[in-house]
Structure 1
Amino acid sequence: MPHLFPRFAPDIRNLDLPLIDGHARIPPAFLLDRDGPFEVNYIPFESVNLAARVVLVGLTPGFVQWRNAVAEAQVQLRGGASADEALSAAKRAGAFSGPIRPNLVALLDRIGLHRWLGLPGCATLFGQHAHLLHLASLLRHPVSRGGKNYSGTPAPIAHRFLRRQITEYFAQEAALFPDAVFIPLGPAVANGLHWLAKEGVLQPAQILDGLPHPSGANAERIAYFLGRKERSTLSTRTDPVRLDSAREALAQKLERLCGGTGLVT
């Protein structure tokens, strides 16, 4: 995959970042593609950790992630860092940052991912054992719709333009991890991974789907999945049967992984 970073590095270095407060203010120089209300802007997320055994896949970076990643890349470039150093630092600064991380760690621990990896807990994937983790997005570069973060509607695999974004960037990246497991965050991402499996990019056995999205807006589903909330206290918005089924299926897949040397079959 050719790096786009050399093309955008001068603009990142010279960007007056405090003036940019939303997608609509991102300079035209960062625009990668456009289709109707959809715009795709470059983000320095090209760093790939080929040693990873786990690939966490979000939908697409939002504006805050874009800003955090570009800010770190700018600091690195102005400090004389190499392209690889700047890209690695930008990925660490921008990907899955903020309050989403504690929920994500708790969910991964709940299904036993740390046991397969031989770790005391999944929190170390964001520290001491970061070499085992690769962070990615189904739509690598931030997609906005009408100037706002794209939230998954329409579904990415149902829209020609969005499918092209998947195949042009993420599909090529995913093919580099034939022995890793992929954990999608949210049903739109899960559907995208299963579509890529049908296209031959992934093996179905690589996909560990079913986790509630770790966003704070999903607090009740997360609490039930983790066993912190009783079934009798759930609102009608939460389907305990589906969550129970997903938790059991994921636990079984991880148990099989822990008992073998390869991917789940």
Structure 2
Amino acid sequence: MRFLAIVAASLLAHAAGAQNAATLYDQAQRLEHGEGVVRDLDQAAALYCRAARLGAPDAQYALGWMYANGRGVGHDDGVAWRLFGLAAEQGNAAGLRMQALLPAAPGAALPACMAPDPALELDLALPLPDYSAATPRLRALVDKLAPEYQIEPALALAVIAVESGFRHTAVSPKDARGLMQLIPATAARFCVLDAFNPEQNLRGGLAYLRWLLARYSGDVTLATAAYNAGEQAVDQYRGVPPYDETRAYVRRIGKLYGKTLHPIAAAVPQRCVRQMAIRSRR
């Protein structure tokens, strides 16, 4: 029993930092059924709820079952009906069957743990940013290229300022490179052959930023959050991910750019169709 308790403690410590719905769901199942750990219905419900908040239909169903049976949580058929419905909307057949067995309760509140994070508050009443680190040549290049990608130069400059501080040789611990800090996968996606070449890097970063703005309907907060953390993270959390780095990043760009919406292009490619033939000038 002591060994199982130690395993359970380790499992919960790992779960505390987990951001993946599948991982949370797997850990919740083990705690609910006592699979290799001490059974803990309260903690199982808490982990199911975190996974359900991320949109996992199996977790929504499992949490609904717990509410329907009062296991680890107080019995509440209304909450169960809502949770089974969320699972059913994503094709979970068991959720559809279980919801049909309960009285309809569209007004029931979901568990508090499924509430979205509060919206970021951006202080837009700020003086003009100081971009003195940007050389006149770089400013001219941004002013020239940004409109080609339907990006306002002010937003491009804000992203560059936060990403690299206008240093075209910048390299991050995650191997993001150049002015707009392109990781190798993103550079390849937008056909950037030399991420340290200012023009190539700007074209790749602007193409990616344009695509993100189109994906999120011009929402600068979501687009820049995706630029930092990846669109998968934004989609998974249905908003700005709860990462300290990403939330600080979004706030900084919001202060520099001063707008929450950006015009979007009608048709935007997800990746480039030909490689850039730009001579390296390093």
Q: Pick the TM interval, shorter chain.
A: under 0.3
- From the two aligned structures, give the one with the greater helix fraction: 2
Q: TM-score normalised to the size of structure 2?
A: 0.22
Q: TM-score normalised to the size of structure 1?
A: 0.23
- From the two aligned structures, give the one with the greater strand fraction: 1
- Tell which has more relative contact order, 1 or 2 (C-alpha 8 A, sep 6+): 1
Between structure 1 and structure 2, the one with the greater Rg is: 2
